[in-house]
Amino acid sequence: MPNLLDFDPAQMTAWFADQGEKPFRATQVLRWLHHFGVADFDAMTNIAKSLREKLRGSAQIKPPAVISDRMSGDGTRKFLFDVGGGNAVETVFIPESGRGTLCVSTQAGCALECAFCSTGKQGFNRNLTTAEIIGQLWQAERALEQGKTGETGRDERVISNVVLMGMGEPLANFENAVAALRLMLDDNAYGLSRRRVTVSTAGLVPAMDRLREECPVALAVSLHAPNDALRNALVPINQKYPLAELMAACRRYLEKAPRDFITFEYVMLDGVNDHEQDAHSLLALTRQVPCKFNLIPFNPFPGTRYRRSKSERVRRFADILMGAGIVATTRKTRGEDIDAACGQLAGQVQDKTRRVTI
């Protein structure tokens, strides 16, 4: 029995057509499901009773179950979702003045094995389905809106921004991640702006090109090093798609991107990639790519050998970038007390020996 959360708008319409139903029925169900957050066919009151009965026997609405829901002292909220087979993934909501950002996972574990990332140390089990990806947003909105009164839907959403920056490499799960993106962007579902939806990638160049053509949203690239030698050690996928290829892909992506810059994420590792010369090398590397830098204080996890860069060194690093006219922000560490900070998401991954071809 199909899970309707697995269908993007076009797939929903096609499935309803296969059932002998008109396209507007698919739109009605899409709105009930995603715009209003309804999981009960009987609550879809503008749909004929005969169709509701038909849907009960031919489809289901099954988001991932919430295992835990923890609140940080700074208001950050971390959800742990059951995705079956002993696997669980983490999703983080970060409230800020004027916006609320949800950080969504796309894989159970991650195969890229970046040296400084807790998720990468957990190994890889499998790609998440579309239902498991969009289901994180679906469940988080329900949880975050509990207690609100006078609501007739999700017109004033708590979640204004979504970033695919949780567990996993989104572009290694391209089909399911893009189907979830299409739901986030669709006016009958979540209606988010392309500028407010961001995909983070370690640099899967062919998939970056494909995303540019099929569903361009804001793009963040996990850079973390100014040269191939260091990036090969920190981000092993660089051995397949080195920096020259990655920078060229970034320039191509900007041809259709909703923003006129690429965000480069750069985790600050004490004595590894935080020297002043590294900042100057980054300026040379990215001089032909309109960009901004998000400097990320390293968030330690058990067993890591890396340390967080000193605040003064981070400040000096940022000053060099900004002195050259590049926007450079230092990410405020959020949710560290519940292991919800950047790079700390680990979830629960079974059968960690599996790998994907990237």
Closest CA to 31 of 178, 152, 132: 152
pLDDT confidence of residue 349? 55
Query: CATH number of the domain that 286 lies in?
Result: 3.20.20.70
281 is a domain residue: yes
Q: Cα 251 vs. chain centroid, distance in angstroms? A: 22
The predicted model scores a pTM of 0.90
Please give, one letter per residue, the 3-state secondary structure of 150-196. CCCCCCCCCCCEEEECCCCCHHHHHHHHHHHHHHHHCCCCCCCCHHH
pLDDT digits (tens, 9 = 90+) for 48-80: 999 999 999 999 999 999 999 988 888 899 999
Please tell me what DSSP assigns to residue 21: -
Coil vs helix vs strand at 245? helix
Overall number of domains in the chain: 2
Indicate which residues carry an active-site annotation. Answer: 90, 342
Q: In whole angstroms, what is the distance from residue 313 CA to residue 274 CA?
A: 7
Q: Which residues of the chain have pLDDT under 50?
A: 147, 149-152, 340, 343-346, 352-353, 355-356
Complete DSSP assignment for 129-148: PHHHHHHHHHHHHHHHHTT-
pLDDT confidence of residue 344? 47
**145 & 181 share domain:** yes
358 is a domain residue: no
Closest CA to 51 of 14, 81, 21, 11: 21
349 is a domain residue: no
pLDDT confidence of residue 73? 84
pLDDT digits (tens, 9 = 90+) for 199-243: 999 999 999 999 999 999 999 999 999 999 999 999 999 999 999
**51 & 70 share domain:** no
Question: How far, in Å, are 167, 178, 225, 254, 309 from residue 92 at the CA level?
Answer: 11, 20, 26, 28, 24
Q: In whole angstroms, what is the distance from residue 19 CA to residue 221 CA?
A: 42
Range of the domain at 214: 65-338
pLDDT confidence of residue 72? 83
